Structure 1
Amino acid sequence: MLARSRLVTLTGPPGVGKTRLALRVARQIHRGFPDGVWWVDLAPLSDGALLTHTVMDTLGITDRLAHRPAGALAEPLGTRRLLLILDNCEHLLDETALLVDGLLGAAPRLRILITSRQVLGAAGEHVLTVPPLSLPDPEEPPTVAAAEHHDAVRLFTARAARAAPGFTVQPGNVAAVTALCRRLDGIPLAIELAAVRLRTLSPERILALLDTRFDVLAEGERDGTHRHHALRAAIGWSHELCTPDERRLWARLSVFAGGFDLRAAEEVCSDADLPERAVFPALAALLEKSVLCRKEAGRRVRYQMLETLHAYGRERLHQHGERGVLRRRHRDYYQRSAARANVEWMSPNQVSWLSWLHEEWANVRAALGYCATEPGEASSAVGMATALRYYWIAAGAVREGGHWLSTALHLHPEPDSTRARALWADSHFALLRGDIRGAEARLAECRALAERLGDAEAGAYATQFTGLAALMRADFRGAVRLLREALDRHDRSHAGRINDIWLALYHLTLANALCGDIPAAVRAGRECLDLCAERSAELSRSYALWALGFARWSQGDADAAAGLIEDALRAKRSLGDPWGIGLCLETLAWTAAAQHRPVRAARLLGASAARWQSFGAAQPTLGLLVANHRRCVAAIRHALGERTFDTSFDQGRRLSVQQAVEYALHDRVDVAPPAPATTSS
């Protein structure tokens, strides 16, 4: 269907295998999509306003730019041939339909595959109802040969053999196995939950227990469909066969969004009724019973529940009256983690925290959502959102950070230090989005509050980000004065301030360089670099190296600048920093032009242009880079001529990220040399 239609929706009841089918389709046709097949699980997402951010995060598209979110996603997809799978959309139908309509209109080579219990109702949607697995005919005598022709029996047998090695369908059990598969209506999830019980029960005993469960459902849930009853019976029966600790943990684990690790489970789910020492045995038992699945995440192990089992756990948590308590414990855990990540950002743990927060992002969102919806939690929302600032910036999620900070400001109108903190933090994100006027309005309110309250911390931050606003307005001398003042006002002994001291030094390096005060720029850059080295903060160090390189380039020392920026690029390659890689490729093009290497410069400009396009921009968007970019383009066009420039630029643009970095560092890449320029007489 995807060959004929750009939008296909797989629909059907829960547990029927929509996700399984979507992933199988992806494996079979992925070669037809040179830009990849991308899977986005929407089950953990409760706020439709963050749908676009979630898709962008999966695709690796940053939102640092001043676009509307949908535009920031549509532009980079414009010419890419990829398949986007949006899984579990039923709770976000309107938002998904709106997003899909915009993306298909903007990206003519895009294909989208949806899984949902309901159709979207979007224009051009082709719907495929996913049927249950094939079942033996109840009118036919059950034989092993006939049974093994049917998908439901084959799945039961495969899963049963995992649970009870050596299990096979035999003449003695074929009647019970086929009856069991029919009783479960061929629903894959229900069959898997039943099959795992063969560790301790026979097929006949499982069938008898399920029949009892169906009788209960028939009395208590008369409005449900038969297939829904089949799945509910299997899940409810699996739940009843768990120990009290396992049932309690199943319910409590439903508070997590998108998965969790053992440490989170122990801290959030344990109490007097479920001691911490009992969590792991119960978790291991749920894993054995296929209630949980295990996933490797680097060196970490994470656990997850299928959405249907997750929803069942939520029902039980609500019935036990524990939902409010568990949501607060969940928020507290991720709030503590965010605060610790902020304190340890300038440390050897910087990259580990970046990875951890990325893996846990669905849970962090859920914790922020709790702060935003529960009365009296606005102060916690501000604290958590400001603690996550550097993660949002490093991950390219500036617009989402602004969303949460703006929400916190709306929730906390009281003129106190909490609001002052939210104002300066939100101004930072407004500046990163290019909204200088909006940032300056927030900063004016922050300064007034700081003066009225005698809040020295808020005053220092207001000064710092007013300095950044001046830098972005090209008032370089004003920026230098304000950034120096902010550094004097910051309390350097405070662990939570070191991140912003580093940021002020980084911006001071750029401002001094743009003023032409190279000695001051180098001093600030070296102090910035020393701070990173002292704390082994590698991501921050890569930006300090780039800033020093920029200062040397501004001085006219292209060789020294290239060496520093190449060092930064090596670090960014190992750290996986796509925005920083684009920045390095751009400025290495300038140094190549200054070194009279115009073909290299044109190729690097093409490579950087591809990176900027992936962020939704055609050229560098930081205002202070635009003039240098344009001068570089003009110089190498003049040196090469239009035809050779265009050929070299296109060669660079076609490079993958890895190829572009290899070329930038070693001048090695498999590209044909540009044809010599020709002239007509």
Structure 2
Amino acid sequence: MEQIPDSAPFISDLLSTAAGLKVMVTSRAVLHLYGEHEFDVPPLEVCPPDHASSPDYVSQFPAVHLFVERARAVNPAFQITEDNTATVARICARLDGLPLAIELAAVRTKVLPLPMILQRLAGGTGQSLTFLRSTAHNVLQRHQTLHDTLDWSYELLDLRQQCLFRRLSVFLGGWTLHSALTIAAAEDQATTLDDLLEQMEALIDHSLVKRMSLEERPLDENPEPRFHLLETIREYALGQLGACGEREDIQRRHATHYLALAERVEPNLSGREQVRAVSMLVREQDNLRAALAWAIEHDEVEIAQRMCGALGRFWEARTQFQEAHRWIDAALKMTQEIPPAVRAKLLMAASRITLWEIEYEHSRELAQEALVLYEAVGDMAGKTWAMFHIGDTWHMQGEYTLATGYLEESLLLQREQKNWHSYAFTLSRLGAMATLQGDFPQAWTYLSEALTLQREYSEPGLLNVTLVYLGVLALTQGDLIQSSTYMREGLLLAQQTGNRYMLAIDLIAFGCLLGTIREPSYAARVCSGAEALFESLNTALPAAYRPLYDAYLGSLKSQVDETTWEKWWTEGKALSQEEMSALALTASEATGL
């Protein structure tokens, strides 16, 4: 209907003349008449590519069904098979389930193999929009290519709406109204939130922008409403942004905005606000990745290094060690001169990630380099952090004398700075080392004080660490009831936060406990699954804890024959995280501990 000029007044006149008349209109844009009811026609449902298990399963999805139907119209021999199932699913997902795009892509099967079609669509260069073309004589001109269809929709917008639409293409994974106002309308100081709302509403009315569904939570816990462009539409808008010569400027604004967000949220990544802070960054992670990629590609050293430094604790909390390593390595290779404090924070982020990957010496070298920079600029908090971390590398390596010197010195500085969050974690590490060295009374003293402070000041991840230490300490002293209590709380925390590293640590300790109180099969299955989880994270149990773990596991393994143990061990490797956790929790409940 949108192609008929002045259709809305005509329909309004009809409705006012004939009281019982109802009009059903199909259009890309709403008519804005009083009493109008909108029914959105969503894209066709697509099969998530990672769930493309079989032709029968994938063929149930409407997007795939349409693709197959139109492919057979030009190529009767076309079949969906085990070999091409995943490719078809990816093509339909890449095209956002848009019927016209799927039909145009299916036509290409007449001359191109599916992998080549997917490759052309996945480039993200805008070529896919002209690649999707129909030569049918009875198809409207604007429907012969996806680019023509979007051109037609774009021309229906006024100049301000066109400007906003193309600028929104820099966002990946959606945006909030605040972000859109900051980035897409930044140079026009007269633009207000009300102006933006009006323009955004127009883009939604023209079926160009989609609003993401809000989670069902209490209002004060809901994030800001978010909006997004389908990927094919975003690709078109990005092409328009480049054609207008605005792309570099808007992408710079985007990177600067998300750097500011990362640095604003960073202080809350440690402490009791961590869960909320991590959730906020998770929602924006695609935008953060886009900003980082742009900064590295355009040699914007300070933006890249500051952002990596700010996101270090976020990547740790999400156990995204390998991704963090890629970004940080790229940022470290950028050689332009930057402020020493920025470089020091980046080095500490690199050191932390490297420690998780069990590269003790390299981690220590990075922290020592950061320590020199912190001392040079007189940053006592940074110096304390670096000293703790150097001690932590020695602790993980099992060099307790060297570790104690650094950790005790950092403990004094943390107390002076009233940094109770870090002070508690340092106590926790000292308590762990006391346990490993057999000084159980000192271990209880350190860990009890740490637990009290962490319940008040710390994020769930660090509290979880101390609970595991206390569980292991109780186990070594034969207090199985207390050990089970600590370990259950720790495992539930790991499940709640989604921290896969701590989940693996919890399960390793829980497996040894269950092997002791139940039977060796529990230890074999749970510990095997935990080690597989470590491997998936490109990490392992720290060297300092390996002798104690090996001693427990060796004792349990000696109680059964090799074949039986290997059978249990293999079964454990096949368990999911949820299955391992359920096994451990259920088994501990069954003991009555």
The verdict on a shared fold, with TM-score over 0.5 as the criterion, is yes
Residue pair 1:443, 1:462 contacting (<8 A) in 2 also: yes
Q: 1:366 aligns with which of 290, 304, 307?
A: 290
- What secondary structure is seen at the aligned counterpart in 2 of 1:640? coil
User: d(CA) in 1 for partners of 2:409 and 2:583?
Assistant: 41
How is 1:424-463 mapped onto 2 (pairs within 5 angstroms)? Answer: 424-463=348-387
Q: 1:625 aligns with which of 545, 555, 560?
A: 545
Q: 2:502 aligns with which of 580, 595, 607?
A: 580
Q: CA 1:22–1:550 in 2, change beyond 3 Å: closer, same or farther?
A: same
How is 1:7-406 mapped onto 2 (pairs within 5 angstroms)? Answer: 23=47, 29=53, 115-117=118-120, 179=138, 181-185=139-143, 227=144, 230-271=145-186, 272=189, 274-296=191-213, 298-299=215-216, 300=223, 301-374=225-298, 377-406=300-329
Residue pair 2:354, 2:363 contacting (<8 A) in 1 also: yes
Matched, 1:474 2:394: no
User: d(CA) in 2 for partners of 1:339 and 1:119?
Assistant: 32
State the partner residue of 1:7.
none
User: d(CA) in 2 for partners of 1:88 and 1:515?
Assistant: 59
User: d(CA) in 1 for partners of 2:266 and 2:583?
Assistant: 35
Q: CA 1:467–1:347 in 2, change beyond 3 Å: closer, same or farther?
A: closer
State the partner residue of 1:419.
343
User: d(CA) in 2 for partners of 1:650 and 1:349?
Assistant: 39
- What secondary structure is seen at the aligned counterpart in 1 of 2:170? coil
User: d(CA) in 2 for partners of 1:86 and 1:520?
Assistant: 58
Task: Report the Cα offset of residue 279 of structure 1.
Answer: 1.7
State the partner residue of 1:608.
530
State the partner residue of 1:645.
565
Q: CA 1:520–1:326 in 2, change beyond 3 Å: closer, same or farther?
A: farther
User: d(CA) in 1 for partners of 2:474 and 2:135?
Assistant: 70
Residue pair 1:569, 1:584 contacting (<8 A) in 2 also: yes
Task: Report the Cα offset of residue 423 of structure 1.
Answer: 2.5
Q: CA 1:668–1:647 in 2, change beyond 3 Å: closer, same or farther?
A: farther
Q: 1:592 aligns with which of 511, 514, 519?
A: 514
Residue pair 2:471, 2:482 contacting (<8 A) in 1 also: yes
State the partner residue of 1:530.
452
Q: CA 1:567–1:131 in 2, change beyond 3 Å: closer, same or farther?
A: same
Q: CA 1:660–1:399 in 2, change beyond 3 Å: closer, same or farther?
A: closer
Whichever residue aligns with residue 576 of structure 2, its letter is: S
With 630-639 and 552-561 compared, the bigger mean Cα shift is at 552-561
User: Structure 1 stretches of 5 or more lacking a match?
Assistant: 1-18, 38-81, 91-111, 121-129, 139-178, 186-226, 671-681
Residue pair 1:516, 1:554 contacting (<8 A) in 2 also: no
Residue pair 1:423, 1:443 contacting (<8 A) in 2 also: yes
User: d(CA) in 2 for partners of 1:574 and 1:424?
Assistant: 27
Residue pair 1:346, 1:535 contacting (<8 A) in 2 also: no
- What secondary structure is seen at the aligned counterpart in 2 of 1:115? helix
Task: Report the Cα offset of residue 416 of structure 1.
Answer: 2.8
Whichever residue aligns with residue 141 of structure 2, its letter is: R
Deviations 1:83-115 (A, max 9, x none): 69766999xxxxxxxxxxxxxxxxxxxxx9983
User: d(CA) in 2 for partners of 1:635 and 1:278?
Assistant: 71
Deviations 1:550-593 (A, max 9, x none): 33334453432222011111222233333322221211121233
User: d(CA) in 1 for partners of 2:165 and 2:461?
Assistant: 39
Normalising by the residue count of structure 2, what TM-score does the alignment of the two structures yield? 0.71
Deviations 1:586-607 (A, max 9, x none): 1112123343632332332244
Matched, 1:504 2:414: no
Task: Report the Cα offset of residue 30 of structure 1.
Answer: 5.1
User: d(CA) in 2 for partners of 1:415 and 1:27?
Assistant: 47
Residue pair 1:420, 1:449 contacting (<8 A) in 2 also: yes
User: d(CA) in 1 for partners of 2:48 and 2:141?
Assistant: 26
State the partner residue of 1:489.
413
Matched, 1:513 2:452: no
- What secondary structure is seen at the aligned counterpart in 2 of 1:257? coil
Task: Report the Cα offset of residue 283 of structure 1.
Answer: 1.8
Residue pair 1:33, 1:83 contacting (<8 A) in 2 also: no
Q: CA 1:381–1:21 in 2, change beyond 3 Å: closer, same or farther?
A: same
Matched, 1:551 2:473: yes
Deviations 1:393-438 (A, max 9, x none): 1222223323333333333556833323322332222222222232
Whichever residue aligns with residue 513 of structure 1, its letter is: T
Q: CA 1:31–1:295 in 2, change beyond 3 Å: closer, same or farther?
A: farther
- What secondary structure is seen at the aligned counterpart in 2 of 1:116? helix
Whichever residue aligns with residue 558 of structure 2, its letter is: H
Q: 1:636 aligns with which of 549, 556, 576?
A: 556
Whichever residue aligns with residue 443 of structure 1, its letter is: A
Task: Report the Cα offset of residue 391 of structure 1.
Answer: 1.2
Deviations 1:252-280 (A, max 9, x none): 21121232233322333234253222222
Residue pair 2:397, 2:542 contacting (<8 A) in 1 also: no
- What secondary structure is seen at the aligned counterpart in 1 of 2:118? strand
Q: 2:493 aligns with which of 554, 571, 575?
A: 571
Deviations 1:223-250 (A, max 9, x none): xxxx5xx333321221121133321210
User: d(CA) in 1 for partners of 2:561 and 2:487?
Assistant: 27
**Structure with bigger RCO (C-alpha 8 Å, 6+ apart):** 1
Whichever residue aligns with residue 146 of structure 2, its letter is: L
Task: Report the Cα offset of residue 360 of structure 1.
Answer: 1.7
- What secondary structure is seen at the aligned counterpart in 2 of 1:303? strand
Number of aligned positions between the proteins: 486
User: d(CA) in 2 for partners of 1:612 and 1:410?
Assistant: 28
Q: CA 1:88–1:339 in 2, change beyond 3 Å: closer, same or farther?
A: farther
Over the matched positions of the two proteins, sequence identity in percent amounts to 23
Q: CA 1:83–1:367 in 2, change beyond 3 Å: closer, same or farther?
A: same
User: d(CA) in 1 for partners of 2:474 and 2:47?
Assistant: 50
Q: CA 1:423–1:29 in 2, change beyond 3 Å: closer, same or farther?
A: closer
Residue pair 2:154, 2:162 contacting (<8 A) in 1 also: yes
User: d(CA) in 2 for partners of 1:297 and 1:517?
Assistant: 52
Normalising by the residue count of structure 1, what TM-score does the alignment of the two structures yield? 0.62
Task: Report the Cα offset of residue 442 of structure 1.
Answer: 2.4
Task: Report the Cα offset of residue 445 of structure 1.
Answer: 2.9
Q: CA 1:515–1:655 in 2, change beyond 3 Å: closer, same or farther?
A: same
User: d(CA) in 2 for partners of 1:438 and 1:613?
Assistant: 20
Q: CA 1:476–1:298 in 2, change beyond 3 Å: closer, same or farther?
A: farther
Task: Report the Cα offset of residue 647 of structure 1.
Answer: 4.0
Q: CA 1:343–1:244 in 2, change beyond 3 Å: closer, same or farther?
A: same
Whichever residue aligns with residue 322 of structure 2, its letter is: R
Residue pair 2:507, 2:530 contacting (<8 A) in 1 also: yes
User: d(CA) in 2 for partners of 1:24 and 1:484?
Assistant: 51
Q: CA 1:650–1:314 in 2, change beyond 3 Å: closer, same or farther?
A: closer
Whichever residue aligns with residue 423 of structure 1, its letter is: L
Deviations 1:357-382 (A, max 9, x none): 2232121112223443456x433433
State the partner residue of 1:170.
none
Task: Report the Cα offset of residue 118 of structure 1.
Answer: 6.5
Whichever residue aligns with residue 559 of structure 2, its letter is: A
Deviations 1:344-363 (A, max 9, x none): 22455422332332232121
Residue pair 1:509, 1:551 contacting (<8 A) in 2 also: no
State the partner residue of 1:221.
none
User: d(CA) in 1 for partners of 2:556 and 2:564?
Assistant: 10
User: Structure 2 stretches of 5 or more lacking a match?
Assistant: 1-42, 62-84, 95-114, 124-130, 217-222
Matched, 1:464 2:388: yes
User: d(CA) in 1 for partners of 2:458 and 2:381?
Assistant: 26
User: d(CA) in 2 for partners of 1:628 and 1:32?
Assistant: 50
